[in-house]
Amino acid sequence: MLLQQLIKDSIKDAMKNKDSIRLDVLRGLSTAFMNYSVANGGTPQTELTDEQVIDIISKEAKKRKDSIEQFTTADRLDLVEKESAELVILQEFLPQMMSVDEIKPIAQAKINEMGVDKSKSGMIVGALMKELKGRADGMDVKSVVEELLG
C-alpha cells in the first residue's frame, strides 16, 4: 500500500476515534501532498511516490523540531507539548532513522571514495544526504563527517 493511501486511511480512523490532534496533523499532510502535486504540474488528486511523501513528511517533522526548539527557548511549554505530540504522529510515517554507528561506515566509504579533506566536508555531507535520502538525520551525518575528518 502506498504511504499516501495509508495516511488517507489514517485520517478516517482519526475521525472515527475523535482524535483531533492526529486528525489535524494528517489533514495538514494531505494538504501538503496536494500543494506539492499542484506545484509540480499535477492535479490535487495526483498520487505521489513514497519517496515524495517521505520527503514532505520529513520537512513537516523538521518544522516541528524547529518550533519545539524555539518554544523551549521562549519557555512556552504548552506549545512545546503540542508540537511534540504532532512530531510523534509524523514520525510514525517516516522510516526508522539510521543511528550514528550505522552512518559511520557509509560516511568513511564515501570519504575514501571522494578522497577529500576537511575543507570539503560540505561536499561529503551533501553526497551522503543524497545517498541516504530520508534514512538519516542531517545533523547526525554532519557530526559523523566532522568526526571522521578530524
User: Model confidence at 1, in pLDDT bands (50, 70, 90)?
Assistant: low
The three-class DSSP label of residue 35 is helix
Q: Residue 132 above 70 pLDDT?
A: yes
Digit-coded pLDDT (tens) for 33-72: 999 999 999 898 899 998 899 989 989 999 999 999 999 9
Q: Which three cell numbers stand for residue 61?
A: 517533522
